Amino acid sequence: MVKIIIILILLGVVVGFISGLLGVGGGFILVPVFTTLFSLTGLPFDTSIKMAVGTSLLTVFLTSIVSAYKHHLRENTLWRCALVLGIFGTIGALIGLKISMEYLSGELHRRLFAILLILISIYGIYLGEKDLDNWEDIPSNLHYRKLPVIGITVGVVSSLFGIGGGILTVPLLVHLFKLPVRMAIGTSCAMMLLTSLTGIVGYMLQPCPLYQHLFNIGYVSLIFGSVVGLVAMVSSKYGALLAYKLRSKTLKNILYLLLMLVGIRLLC
């Protein structure tokens, strides 16, 4: 168990830094690693991946608190936009929870997650020819009528795969709403507070055996989620600080490369 705790601490450092840097919750890294760790402790694979998703959302929520606050201090958060996305995202999160619990086996869950990551990375790279560093002003006419559809979609994906939704929200806000990348990242972090919290509560309320070594409530391991989350809360502020020193195009390329690598690894 000591080795696992060390792994969790290191995982928290990496995930927190990525969360602050790229405005994503880090669930695309957490879910595969958590699934492996839960399987090593003796959980069936179907249970492991659901436990990984629920626990990932707990970590995402904790890291989002710090990341959202740091970006807010830089005045890079559109709170009205984040609130609308978050409210409709909670509806989507409940839909995603039902799908995850009733219709997906562990293996199908894993493959769908991998395909999602690869598709998002391809989408981002395909549209990456635009010079994002030239988009420094907030558009005067944000189409808020599009936000409910985006919010529900992001909420479903968030709850279904244990991610905060940032890997979808950031590229959508950049390419559909023409927001500066840093503004999209800050708004994404704020939105994730609501979507991840809804997912956490939903997974906690699902019937699941009690595993004493995991201190789980439903499909959320308090010990795994808390250790990674608390460490990530500290390291995320350094990622957020670095985000303001890098070019927008660099941030975008880092995000899509990570998504592609993790997606390919999950399919292999």
Mind listing the pLDDT tens digit for each residue in 26-43? 778 888 889 999 998 889
Q: What is the pTM of this model?
A: 0.81
Span 4-23, average pLDDT:
84
The string of pLDDT tens digits covering residues 124-146 is: 777 654 544 444 555 555 667 78
Structure tokens at 208: 């699941």
Q: What mean pLDDT is predicted for residues 234-255?
A: 74
Tokens of 40: 């090593």
Q: For residues 34 and 225, what is the distance between their CA atoms, to the nearest angstrom? A: 9
| Amino acid identity, position 41 | T
Nearest to 30 by CA among 200, 217, 257, 262: 262
In angstroms, the CA 163 to CA 179 distance is: 22
Task: Tell me what the pLDDT averaged over the chain comes to.
Answer: 82
Asked whether the predicted pLDDT for residue 81 surpasses 60, the reply is: yes
Considering only 52-56, 104-108, 249-253, which range has the smallest mean pLDDT?
249-253
If phi > 0 it is left, if psi is from -120 to 50 it is alpha, else beta; for residue 46 that is: alpha
Q: Which residues pair with 221 in a beta bridge?
A: 216
Q: Tell me what pLDDT residue 141 has.
A: 57
Question: What is the distance between the alpha carbons of residues 175 and 165, in angstroms, rounded to a whole number?
Answer: 16
